[in-house]
Amino acid sequence: MLLDIVLHPDERLRVHCTPVTEMNDKLDQLLSHMFDTMYDAEGVGLASTQVGENQRFCVVDVSEDRSKPLVLINPEIIDHKNTITWKEGCLSIPEVSAEIVRPKNILVRALDRDFKPIEFEADELLSVCIQHEIDHLDGKLFIDYLSPLKRRRLMDKYAKQQKAQTP
């Protein structure tokens, strides 16, 4: 089942999510729907806020063949080093992208889909994607990293695109 993706400037994207306290069938089914939605939209990550939920979880798969689905519940970055500049986009702000500087290497701690603790290192695209999704869980968008001028230009472009697509 495909879910509706919340689009900017919807205030639900600015919610700071609460921790997940238990895994249940409803959450497991929602995670499956989130993967379906992410793959259908040709994304590599999708946070709960992007589908109208306000708990701390996201789904990620940066593999080209969609073979490495990753569920992160209550994720946190516990260490980082180096930097990388990556052109980021967002399913909640379609057709808009910008180069963002983030840590290149991160150490992530979370719970997996079985609600078991995991800890792993990520770099390059996986690192950028996880940071982007954790930002969503904290009510932050990639455009928040831009200068006010660049952000305004991108949002003006986005507004024009949205207006042109409205029947």
Distance CA(111)–CA(144), nearest Å, equals 27
**What is the pLDDT averaged over residues 141-146?**
98
pLDDT bucket at 91, cuts 50 / 70 / 90: very high
> 109: closest CA among 67, 146, 78, 86?
78
Catalytic annotation present for 133: yes
Tokens describing residue 33: 């729907």
157 in helix, strand or coil? helix
Confidence check: pLDDT of 166 > 80: no
> What is the model's pLDDT at position 56?
98
**What is the helix (H) or strand (E) element at residue 107, kind and residue range?**
strand 93-111
Rounded average pLDDT over 78-103: 97
Residue 134's pLDDT is 98
pLDDT of residue 153: 95
Residues 6+ positions from 78 with CB-CB distance below 8 Å: 107, 108, 109, 119
Mean pLDDT, rounded, of the chain: 97
Catalytic residue among 53, 88, 121, 133: 133
By DSSP bridging, strand 70-90 and strand 117-123 are unpaired
Lowest mean pLDDT among 22-26, 137-141, 148-152, 158-162: 158-162
- The residue-averaged pLDDT of 39-57 equals 98
Position 165 scores a pLDDT of 81
- Can you give the pTM of this predicted structure? 0.96
C-alpha 74: how far from chain center? 13
pLDDT attached to residue 164: 86
Q: Judge whether residue 142 has pLDDT over 80.
A: yes
DSSP string, 5-66: PP-TT-GGGG--PBPP----HHHHHHHHHHHHHHHHTT-SEEEGGGGT--BSEEEE---TTS
Residue predicted with more confidence, 165 or 18: 18
